[in-house]
Structure formats: structure tokens, C-alpha cells
Amino acid sequence: MNGASWEDRTGRRSRVRGSLLGGAIGDALGNPVEFLSLAGIRRAHGEHGVQGLLPDDEGVVGRVTDDTQMTLFTAEGLIRAHSRAASKGGGTEDGGAGTRIVRNAYLRWLDTQNHPAPPARGGDNPVRTGWLRQQPWLYARRAPGNACLTGLATGHVPEPTGRLGDPGPVNTGSKGCGTVMRSAPFGLVAQDAEEGFRLAYWCAQITHGHPTGAYAAGAFAAIVAYLLEGDSTEGAVLRAMELLRRHPGHEETTAALRAAVDLAAQGAPTGEKVETLGAGWVAEEALAIAVYCALVLPGADQVARSLLLSVNHSGDSDSTGAVCGNLLGARHGDVRLPPSWLVATEGRAVITEVADDLCVEFEHAVGWPADRYPAY
């Protein structure tokens, strides 16, 4: 990427920022209605449902949830894994170091869920240190997924080798959308879509063992990678489906994506149409809803409508909003994100900084101050 033109690099940075910030906006839009039915949303917010950022239970507007928190830690883990590999002269893969270091990042996220505030600096364990975990606003429980919490307690580090499609040992039957909602960064940094697909797949199995949870995360990362290459939304989705169907046990995820593509061809969107794809509590449904909303309103001037469509349904509105926002930002860049929502979304400065650090690391492997991104 060092040889890329100024325009290419500028466009790529805008898309990386757009993906992380767009995800946060979608997460914040969906947060206040996560547990409401479509009818309940309409009763509370009018016939068109949510039309902008709303206050949460505590009256605060623009708060993000575990989806954005975990996505930031995925990005942080990837920066640290790449930095470590670069210092050893290698690529992203360092044996199992990629999955191990991403898991370490999720352990830091877990600390944010179990403690009221960041620790005092200067601890001995580098896994427990770093700049991101010093951000006080991340120390907030916003309905984190149970499999994410319990899976991290098991100590299992997936080996990124071997055949895809077998159940993993951690939460073997779980395919909650916690795999998908945190996985955009794998697509943002991948050399190619297949690399992003595979790393997202194996890192999903840190917490969720059902192959569909891992395949949905992998397909999502692949779509993001294709969008960064400049594909249209439809092109990116169809190419990711091609990649997906080469692997055993892909059918459930493929069927969900196929349903989203077919539905997008059936005229104007409605909340009722969104609900035919499911509720988004499980990984392939969350991905399908987000993909549908991005596909059916594909224009750069339709980003706000697409985000609103992705949260106005009975189901996991913050996760479907987050995943849809990741896609829209990767497609259209940060400059197309609705500005009034962008400036009111929690954590904007840190999210932007992480996006830029991700680009800097993968473009230049600069070598970070030891207390910012320790290589563990």
C-alpha cells in the first residue's frame, strides 16, 4: 500500500474512518430501541419510528453500546498484532499470534465491563495495558452479549489453521450476533478479502462456537474488504457469497445473504420487509438485515435513510444499525455520514483516532510508543 496514490490513500482513510464512525452512529441510533418491537417503536416515536438520535434510559443522547466498544478493541488488537509481526519482519500472521492478540484485546474490553474505571497506569502485565483501555467512557455496560462475556473466561485461543466449518469448543452452539458486530476491522486491514474472512472466522470462535457465527463474521469482513477495494455494495456482497460458498457448512449464512439480496430487488423498503429476514439476535440475521438496508438504499445520499431502516424493526436494533453503519461508511466514506448524528455520537474523537492509527499502522508500521500499543 506504500506505493498507492495520494487519492487512493485519502479515499481509503475516509472509508476506514467512515466504517468505524458509521458503525458507532448506527449503534447509537438503535441503542434506545434495542428491546422494542416495531409496533412498540412506532407507538413510542411515531409512525415512522426512530428518525434520529434519541435519549437512552438515563436521558443521554448518542450513546454507543458493546458493538462499538468491541469493534474498537478488535481494531486495537489488529494494530498490536501487526505491529508485533512487523517488528519481527513478518506479515499479519504470526502463527497463532493474530488470534491470541485479538483475544487479549477482548480481555481488555472484558475489563471495561467488570470495572468502573481504568486501572492506574504502570501495571506489570502488558496484556492489561495500552492507550485504548485508559479511555474512561469505555467503562460502561451497555447490554453486552452473554457469549462474549462467558467465552472470554474460558481461555481458549483458536488456532487459525485447518478446515473451516467445524464447531469450536467455546460456547459450541452459540451463533449470537456478537461475532458479526465486532468484525468490521478484519475487513478494513486485510490484504485481500479472503484473509479478512479467515481471520474474522477464527477470531469469532474465541467466544462463539457455532460455524454460522464464524461464517457470518467472515462474510461481513469480506464484504467490508471488497467495499474498500471500491466495489459497489451489491458487487461486494455477491463476491463475498462466492467466497463463502467454497467452505463446508456455509449454507445457513449463504441462505440469509441470498434472502437479503432477493428482498432488495423487491421494491421500496419497509420495516415489515426487514422483519422477514429475522430479528438480528443471531449472526446471520444481523448480517442479512444490515446488508439488505445497505443494498436497498445504495446511494451516497441515502445513508441516513439506510441507517434508520436498519434500526426500525423488532430485534437487535443497535447491532443491525452498527453492522449497517460499518458497511455504509466503508462504501461511502466518512464525508457522507449524516453530520448532525456524527457530532452527537459518543466517542467520536477516540473512534476517529483508532481509525487513523489502524491506517497508519497498516500503511507504515511506524512503531508505537510502548504504552500506546504494546505488542501483546
Distance from C-alpha of 93 to C-alpha of 246, rounded to nearest angstrom: 22
Beta carbon nearer to Mg ion, 31 or 99: 31
Which residue number is nearest to Mg ion in terms of Cβ? Answer: 65
Residue length, the chain?
376
Which stretches of the chain are DSSP H helices?
6-30, 38-45, 66-87, 97-114, 146-152, 184-189, 193-204, 211-229, 233-244, 251-264, 271-275, 283-296, 303-311, 317-332, 339-344, 348-364
Minimum CB distance to Mg ion, residue 31 (Å): 7
Minimum CB distance to Mg ion, residue 207 (Å): 14
**Residue 344 cell numbers, joined:** 452527537
Minimum CB distance to Mg ion, residue 190 (Å): 24
Distance from C-alpha of 182 to C-alpha of 68, rounded to nearest angstrom: 7
Residue 65 near Mg ion by CB under 5 A: yes
| Cα dihedral value 137, 142, 148, 154, nearest 10 | 70
Minimum CB distance to Mg ion, residue 323 (Å): 11
Q: Build a one-symbol-per-residue string for 308-327: x at contacts with Mg ion by CB under 5 A, - elsewhere.
A: ----------x---------
Residue 346 near Mg ion by CB under 5 A: no
Angle of helix 283-296 relative to helix 211-229, nearest 10 degrees?
A: 30
Give exposure, 217-240, as e/b (b: 16+ Cβ within 10 Å): bbbbbbbbbbbbeebebeebbebb
Beta carbon nearer to Mg ion, 218 or 321: 321
The site that binds Mg ion (CB under 5 A) totals a number of residues, namely 4
One-letter amino acid at 67 equals D
Beta carbon nearer to Mg ion, 284 or 318: 318
Who contacts 374 (Cβ-Cβ below 8 Å, separation ≥6)?
80, 126, 127, 129, 130
Beta carbon nearer to Mg ion, 29 or 203: 29
Beta carbon nearer to Mg ion, 62 or 98: 62
Minimum CB distance to Mg ion, residue 315 (Å): 12
Q: Build a one-symbol-per-residue string for 279-298: x at contacts with Mg ion by CB under 5 A, - elsewhere.
A: --------------------
**Residue 16 cell numbers, joined:** 476506514
The SS3 assignment for 282 reads strand
Beta carbon nearer to Mg ion, 24 or 203: 24
Minimum CB distance to Mg ion, residue 358 (Å): 21
Beta carbon nearer to Mg ion, 34 or 76: 34
Minimum CB distance to Mg ion, residue 261 (Å): 26
Residue 66 near Mg ion by CB under 5 A: yes
Q: Which of 121, 33, 53, 95 is nearest to 317 (CA)?
A: 33
The residues of the shown chain that bind Mg ion, judged by CB under 5 A, are 65-67, 318
